[in-house]
Amino acid sequence: MKSKLIAALFAALSVAACQTAQPPSTASGKPETTIRAPVSKIKALIISRAMNNGMSITKDTEYMLQFEKPTANLGAAVLLGSRYDSTPNERYVVTFAPLGDETRVVISSMFVTNPGSGFERITPINAGEGIERTQQTLREIQQQAEAAPSAQVASNKQKK
């Protein structure tokens, strides 16, 4: 009992420390970028990266992609787990806004308690190290999507 209380206190302090970080200075306040590429190309790159990170696609529409996996974050599990499901999911919702030959991409991150049930509870993640990593990943996807096709073919040949 005492160790559970200490773990919960530690987790609460960890989450509180993360909340002092500022959200990204973007128009949406979330990780975002504008990429010179069609939605289909960007989606393919994001899906590949998500699958490499053990995520599953839970929704895919023309302008939105959603994927998730059970969290490995102990603090989130202690604070956000429930009797129904002790491990919340990390969920990412990617929104695509085509703008001529460019696409604006915005990513929302959240923890989901009781995922897939009628009792889902969403806890948005607006700042912190995870958001900074998401923004960096988005920049990497932008570089890949905007790379010249001949550079990508050469890169693929080197990997084989």
Question: Tens digits of per-residue pLDDT, 57-115?
Answer: 999 999 999 999 998 888 888 888 888 788 899 999 999 999 999 999 999 999 999 88
Exposure string over 111-149, b if 16+ CB within 10 A, otherwise e: bbbbbeeeeeeeeebbbbeebeebbebbeebbebbeeee
Once rounded to an integer, what is the mean pLDDT over residues 126-152?
A: 85
Structurally, how many domains does the chain consist of?
1
What pLDDT shows up at residue 24?
Answer: 67
| Cα radius of gyration (the chain) | 18
- At 39, which CATH number? 3.30.310
**DSSP E strand boundaries for the chain:** 32-35, 56-60, 64-70, 89-99, 102-113, 121-125
Q: Is residue 26 very low, low, confident or very high in pLDDT (cuts 50, 70, 90)?
A: confident
**The model's pTM:** 0.76
| Chain position carrying tokens 């001529």 | 100
Q: State yes or no: pLDDT of 134 exceeds 80.
A: yes
What pLDDT shows up at residue 72?
Answer: 87
Helix 39-52 × helix 129-146 angle, to 10°: 130
> CA 111, CA 120: separation in Å to the nearest integer?
10
Q: Is residue 154 very low, low, confident or very high in pLDDT (cuts 50, 70, 90)?
A: low
Decide which of 24 and 157 is more confident: 24
**In terms of residue numbers, what domain contains 44?**
2-159
